């Protein structure tokens, strides 16, 4: 059977985004949403910091970073805008899967949750997600990034079902392929083999919105593409900034697909601005943070 015909993606443009405006909350920080970022193992605390700061840069009102206890103090000092939770660690410095009790007090009032930046152990991440889901409101938006995406293929079916219709994923093409292989499917994320587009199949399998390599896909078959961006965005920490921008918009009450489109475009356009000023290669992920509110302001002008 030949592959199903792919739907041509809509191209995201400044004019198109202005015609799809973000909700404009009032000035109180609580009205702009509370973000909880869970990640930051001893080996990579900066990932959670980048994601959390990106969430604030796109307008989220309140930030809590839940990170490993050995790095929580330095993280709190480095990101004074955030409340910081100290999560139990394993002997090797990974965030322990049994950290639910430490996280529970940050769940009240959370408007969106990001899990993954800086986590570094699949088994502990699977335990963490599985234990956390029963504590969450059924409609609470969840973004999975990095090791949490890898954990998705190892979750029990009950956890997968609990994530449906409120999940956003930020996989690269390799992670798309691995998730499909874990489900017993084949096909490359860059096209070619398989029945239809791999990103579309993954979105349908998990009832999730995907932002993958500047393309956004929904379970319903909608597709968008951000024409901005370039290879300079392929740098350490860049994906954490994207995931943070996404969860920040979700916390503001933006629907899943719209949040993915806006965050993907903001991330890509921020890279373009840095390329013009710094060069196409060599800028740092943390430099994207300062560009996010500037691009956002331009789009909302």
Residue 211 has which token pair? Answer: 């932002």
Q: Is residue 49 part of a domain?
A: yes
Which pLDDT score, from 0 to 100, does residue 194 have?
40
User: Among 94, 96, 137, 141, which Cα is nearest to 118's?
Assistant: 94
Q: How far apart are the first and last CA of the chain?
A: 49
Q: Is residue 18 part of a domain?
A: no
Q: 34-70, pLDDT tens digit by residue?
A: 999 999 999 999 999 999 999 999 999 999 999 999 9
Which pLDDT score, from 0 to 100, does residue 6 have?
62
Q: Which residues of the chain have pLDDT under 50?
A: 1-4, 189-194
How far, CA to CA in Å, does 117 sit from each of 76, 150, 217, 245? 16, 12, 22, 13
Q: Is residue 12 part of a domain?
A: no
Which pLDDT score, from 0 to 100, does residue 208 have?
98
**pTM of the predicted model as reported, rounded to 2 decimal places:** 0.94
Which pLDDT score, from 0 to 100, does residue 190 have?
46
Which pLDDT score, from 0 to 100, does residue 196 have?
77
Q: Is residue 81 part of a domain?
A: yes
> What CATH code is carried by the domain that includes residue 163?
3.40.1190.20
How far does Cα 91 stand from its chain's mean position?
A: 28
Q: Is residue 206 part of a domain?
A: yes
What is the residue range of 214's domain?
Answer: 27-300
Q: Is residue 169 part of a domain?
A: yes
User: Among 202, 300, 199, which Cα is nearest to 252's?
Assistant: 300
Cβ atoms of 263 and 214 closer than 8 Å: no
Strand 223-225 vs strand 208-212: parallel, antiparallel, or unpaired? unpaired
Which pLDDT score, from 0 to 100, does residue 186 have?
66
| Domain count for the chain | 1
Q: Is residue 6 part of a domain?
A: no
Q: Is residue 111 part of a domain?
A: yes
């Amino acid at each position: 059977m030949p592959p199903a015909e792919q739907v041509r993606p809509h191209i995201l443009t400044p004019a198109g985004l202005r015609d799809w405006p973000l909700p404009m909350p009032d000035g109180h920080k609580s009205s702009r949403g509370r973000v909880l970022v869970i990640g930051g193992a001893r080996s990579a605390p900066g990932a959670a910091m980048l994601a959390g700061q990106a969430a604030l840069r796109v307008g989220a009102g309140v930030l809590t970073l839940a990170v490993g206890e050995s790095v929580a103090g330095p993280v709190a000092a480095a990101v004074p805008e955030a409340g910081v939770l100290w999560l139990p660690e394993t002997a090797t410095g990974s965030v322990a899967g049994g950290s639910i009790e430490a996280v529970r007090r940050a769940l009240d009032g959370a408007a969106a949750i990001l899990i993954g930046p800086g986590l570094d152990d699949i088994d502990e991440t699977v335990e963490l997600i599985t234990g956390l889901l029963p504590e969450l409101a059924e409609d609470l938006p969840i973004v999975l990034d990095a090791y949490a995406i890898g954990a998705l293929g190892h979750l029990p079916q009950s956890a997968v079902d609990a994530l449906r219709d409120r999940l956003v994923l930020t996989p690269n093409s390799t992670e798309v392929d691995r998730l499909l292989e874990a489900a017993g499917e084949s096909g490359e994320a860059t096209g070619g083999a398989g029945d239809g587009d791999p990103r579309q199949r993954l979105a349908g399998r998990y009832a999730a919105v995907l932002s993958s390599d500047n393309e956004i896909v929904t379970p319903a078959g909608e597709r968008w593409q951000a024409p901005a961006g370039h290879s300079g965005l392929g740098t350490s920490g860049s994906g954490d900034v994207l995931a943070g921008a996404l969860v920040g918009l979700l916390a503001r009450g933006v629907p899943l697909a719209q949040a993915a489109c806006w965050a993907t475009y903001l991330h890509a356009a921020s890279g373009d601005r840095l390329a013009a000023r710094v060069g196409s290669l060599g800028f740092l992920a943390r430099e994207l943070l300062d560009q996010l509110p500037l691009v956002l302001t331009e789009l909302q002008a």
